[in-house]
Amino acid sequence: MPSLSLSHTHNAGMDRAREVAENIAQRIADAYDVRYQWLGDHIEFERSGISGQIRINAEEIIVDARMNMMLGMFRSQIEQAIQDELNQAFV
């Protein structure tokens, strides 16, 4: 099963990290009809064919996802979109 894992360091603090994680989760939800929910300091997201977590702390955001073979064909585009979002959020 294809997967992606990326992290982005920051010095923006927990409130900003939470805001960025929420934005990323919402973009994933909109693009792939994914359900997500906060569980403490991380977001769990899932739908048929893709599932994962966005974990935050005061210094880093970590995105891990597992996807089926069909969505796996778009792994590099999905990963780049998330990385672009993180880079823009922490300029």
Q: Model confidence over 49-87: pLDDT tens digits?
A: 999 999 999 999 999 999 999 989 989 998 999 999 999
Is residue 47 included in any domain, yes or no?
yes
pLDDT at 91 over 80: no
Quote the pTM value: 0.89
Is residue 91 included in any domain, yes or no?
no
Is residue 58 included in any domain, yes or no?
yes
pLDDT at 28 over 90: no
pLDDT at 7: 95
Residue 46 structure tokens:
């899932």
Domain count within the chain: 1
| CA gap 43, 74 in Å, rounded | 22
pLDDT at 32: 85
| Strand ranges (E), the chain | 3-9, 35-39, 42-47, 50-56, 60-67
Is residue 90 included in any domain, yes or no?
no
Is residue 18 included in any domain, yes or no?
yes
Q: Residue 76 belongs to a domain with what CATH number?
A: 3.30.310.50
| Other C-beta atoms lying within 10 Å of the C-beta of residue 24 | 21
Q: 40: left (phi > 0), else alpha (psi -120 to 50), else beta? A: left
| Per-residue pLDDT tens digits for 34-45 | 999 999 999 999
